[in-house]
Structure 1
Amino acid sequence: MSDFIAAAERGLLERHGLADFESLWDVQMNAVDEPNTGRGGWSSVFRLELEGSGFYLKRQSNYLTRTLHRPFGEPSFSREFRNISRYLTLGIPALQAVYYGERNVDGDLRAILMTRALDSWTDLDSLLQQWPTLTAHQRLAILQACGQLARTLHAAGQVHGCFYPKHIFLRSRSGAYVAQLIGLEKTRPALFGWRDRVKDLEPLLRRAPQWGEAEVRELLATYTQASVDSGLVDSWWRRLDKRSQHKEVR
């Protein structure tokens, strides 16, 4: 695979001498958190500021994901970059890649993934913590944005696999909200119809205890493009509630 550089950022990277794998690997930065270790290697995330714009630069060595298609493993960033590219092609709002590359250095399989920081966006987890202080209009707009994001995702034939509040980012725009996704490592095609979609949606609702039935129905109304009190929304509510109760028992 040849290195990927987003056209919009190529000039910026070139001005700072960061338009190649070796330079991005060697640049000194402070890690955002403790490195992930395991799988025979390590993976770390860094914050990079260039001319007033924020980026996340992720580097890993021998941190591999093994699947049936790649039994000997590949960098986990390779799968994430593939999914970012797929989302872009399918028109699913998600984080944007700036650079991707990988190298085999003396037997170590290294990979770099650089993405634009979502500095003007807020994760749903943070908004849920503020939920009691938000206006009724803000709450409804957030629920509708989440429902529309899920609708777009599933209409494109994909399930996210980690459709959690911490992976949904929102931004206010003209009195409404727009939403996009991060954390695409577990994305896969939807193979089992509504069962896959219920399985994708239910973890979001379980991690949003601030939402009662009425609020979930507002989200589902946008998701299904039906009225809040429709039979279709009733059906989806029952399916999600049944799965949620099953997960709680387990």
Structure 2
Amino acid sequence: MSFAAPEQSAATASADQNGFDHWWTLPGDWVEEPNERRNGWSGVIRVMTEHGLVYVKRQRNHLYRSLRHPLGWPTASREWYFLLKLRTLGIAAPAPVFHAVRHTPDGIEAVLVTAALENYQPLNELEALPADQRAIVAETLGEMLGRLHRERLQHSCLYDKHVMVRLHRDAPPEVALLDLEKMRRRLTPTLAARHDLAQLRRRQRLFGDDDWARLLACHGRSFTKR
């Protein structure tokens, strides 16, 4: 296996030079070192540009296959597609910056660049949150997931580390979703909701029974809203 390995140091780069080669060779710090999956490899670096902090996903032959994509669809392309979809729904996620795919003698290479979510914390780092704020976070998350599932969209990897929260002193919290690489459209909204809610319930430690009941109540109202 070979890959374009960035220098292991912080770097500043210009996002104006936004061609494939620029993002493929840009030095930065690994946040997810390249590892072999799906008969290919994928890795993510973090780099500061003049426009802010971005995450650059690079991959080769890291493909998702389905009846619709029997020859394979780069998982970075799949994630880009759903990032754009969530923007149309008003659901917060990292802002898409750049995406491209190229065919080389070594296979299919893809790059995905997204802006960092500023001042957000993952759900799994909020265990010290006071009860009143925890309840509001549960309600906000439930409402957002209801809108997601109403569109038959299933996150498919809904762990607490993939739910990001930005707290405000005098305003409701904001909630965003990370890691859309496995997002998919289900046959019905109920199938999407059932999978994600069961997965989140198992994978989170912030919400107790009362908070979870609040989350489900807000999800239900948003899920059935027309």
Q: TM-score under structure 1 normalisation?
A: 0.76
User: Quick check: 1:154–1:190 contact (8 Å CA) kept in 2?
Assistant: no
Q: Distance in 1 between matches of 2:95 and 2:213?
A: 31
TM-superposed deviation, 1:165: 0.9
Q: Calculate the aligned-residue CA RMSD, in Å.
A: 2.1
Which stretch of the first structure deviates more once superposed, 23-32 or 94-103? 23-32
Please list every run of at least 4 consecutive aligned residues from structure 1 whose deviation after the TM superposition is greater than 6 angstroms.
Answer: none
Higher relative contact order (CA 8 A, sep 6+): 2
Paired residue secondary structure (2:30): coil
Supply the distance in 2 between the matched residues of 1:39 and 1:137 (Cα, whole angstroms).
43
Cα 1:175–1:86 shift into 2, 3 Å: closer
Aligned to 2:182: 186
Q: Which has the larger radius of gyration?
A: 1
Q: Structure 1 CA distance, aligned partners of 2:213 and 2:204?
A: 13
Distance 1:19 1:211, change over 3 A: closer
* CA deviations over 1:54-92 (Å, ceiling 9, x no partner): 100111112222111111212111111111111112322
Equivalent pairs: percent with the same residue?
A: 33
* SS of structure 2 residue aligned to 1:206: helix
Secondary structure class of the residue paired with 2:29: coil
Structure 1 or 2: more helix by fraction: 1
The structural deviation recorded for 1:123 is: 0.7
Counterpart residue number, 2:65: 66
Contact 1:124 1:168 in 2 (8 A): yes
One-letter code of the match for 2:165? L
Per-residue Cα deviation, 1:145-168 (whole angstroms, up to 9, x for no partner)? 211121121223322112221111
Unaligned runs of 5+ in 1: 1-11, 227-231, 233-250
1:214 to 206, 210, 213: 210
Aligned partner of 2:143 among 139, 148, 156: 148
Aligned residue number for residue 158 of structure 1: 153
TM-score by length of 2: 0.84
Letter in 2 for 1:156: E
Number of residues of Structure 1 aligned to a counterpart in Structure 2: 209
Unaligned runs of 5+ in 2: 1-13
Report the alpha carbon displacement of residue 193 of structure 1 after superposing the two structures with TM. 4.0
Task: Indicate the SS of the match to 2:181.
Answer: coil
Aligned to 2:195: 199
